[in-house]
Amino acid sequence: MVTIAISSQKGGVGKTTVAINLAHAFGRSGSRTVLVDADPQGSVGLSLTRQSRLLSGFYDYIDDGELKVEGLLVPTRMQTLSLIPAGQASDYDLNGSSSAVVTSRLRNLHSELEDLGMDICIIDTAAGLFGATADVLSMADAVLVPQQAEPLGIRSVPKMLEALTRMRIANPRLMILGVVLTMMQELLPESRDTGQALRAIMPPEMVMNTVVPRGDVFVKASARGLPAGVMDGGDEVLALFDRLRIEIESRLGFMS
């Protein structure tokens, strides 16, 4: 199983949108995929019914050594895609004494999901590369970094790279898949220029070719916690995230 964390230093850059739609794309391709909501304020679980929102999830699993992953999995209409919601327990402090326990539980999570036959685990993390997100990155195989195609977003890039550098020390096998530009507005010069500037200053391999545009369909879908591809007019989104999936698979060496 390959675990891919969707993380960024900055909030509001479209992590959850990327995570949901990427997981959906992997599921559609036939890979047994689980989408884990590790963002206590995330919206992966918003599509769940009110009752199922009370289910245990990722943070409960970390807190309670007795819980099994199998009991947390929420099936979706797609047989190959399951969710693990954030759950009821609150975030924890990385600096607390329980960090080793947290790491151990994260390893268990990985191994239980693997035993259940999962091929891909996509983890939607909270903003910032510290605390729970740092713990997730310490056991992930790869990280994908959504980056808003807006001028202010560029300013966070050095901080993001510094944080990833630190994470790479903690987890030397962590593969940096790269930055995926999100919320791109091709007709807006500032947005377009930001994307071009990022590509100009970063190594080409560090910026994904696929760009996620800003669009009503994402806003509507994210409000419901659904993959944008299942919304009306979502065909282009399906194609877009298929391209992103293929890029990622290629970088992971699936297709080399």
Partner 1 sequence: MDPIESWVDVSELRRMADALLIRPEHPEGSRADPHAGPFGAQFEGFEAEPVLGNGGTLGSVAGQGRGASKARDALASARELARKGGLLEGSGKRTRELRSGGLEEKSLSPSPPKEKAEEGLPKERDGNSVLERLAPFGGWLHDALGSRSYFLLERSGKVVLDEAKSEKLHHLARTLAQAAFTAKRQAGTAAVGNLHIKVEQGAILEVIPVNTREGLFILGVLLDKPLVPRQVETAARGLQQVVDSSSF
Does position 188 interact with partner 1 (CB under 8 A)? The reply is no
- Cα 211 to the chain's mean position, in Å? 16
Each residue 31-70 as x (binds partner 1 by CB under 8 A) or -, in order, gives ----------------------------------------
Q: Are 39 and 15 in contact (CB under 8 A)?
A: yes
Nearer to partner 1, 89 or 202 (CB): 202
Does position 238 interact with partner 1 (CB under 8 A)? The reply is no
Does position 183 interact with partner 1 (CB under 8 A)? The reply is no
Least distance (Å) between residue 198 CB and partner 1: 8
Residue 69 and residue 108: Cα distance in Å, rounded? 9
* Closest alpha carbon to 85 in 186, 16, 14: 16
Does position 75 interact with partner 1 (CB under 8 A)? The reply is no
Q: What is the CA radius of gyration of the chain?
A: 17
How many residues bind partner 1, per CB under 8 A? 38
Out of 53, 168, 214, 243, which residue is the one contacting partner 1 (CB under 8 A)? Answer: 168
Does position 175 interact with partner 1 (CB under 8 A)? The reply is yes
Out of 174, 181, 221, 244, which residue is the one contacting partner 1 (CB under 8 A)? Answer: 174
Does position 134 interact with partner 1 (CB under 8 A)? The reply is yes
Give the interface segment with partner 1, choosing from 20-28, 78-86, 189-197, 236-244 (CB under 8 A): 189-197
* Closest alpha carbon to 34 in 232, 166, 26, 193: 26
Sheet holding 81-84, edge to edge: 74-75, 81-84, 33-38, 120-125, 2-6, 142-148, 175-182
Site residues for partner 1 per CB under 8 A:
94, 99-100, 102-103, 134-135, 138, 151, 154-155, 157-158, 161-162, 164-166, 168-176, 189-190, 193-194, 197, 200-203, 205-206
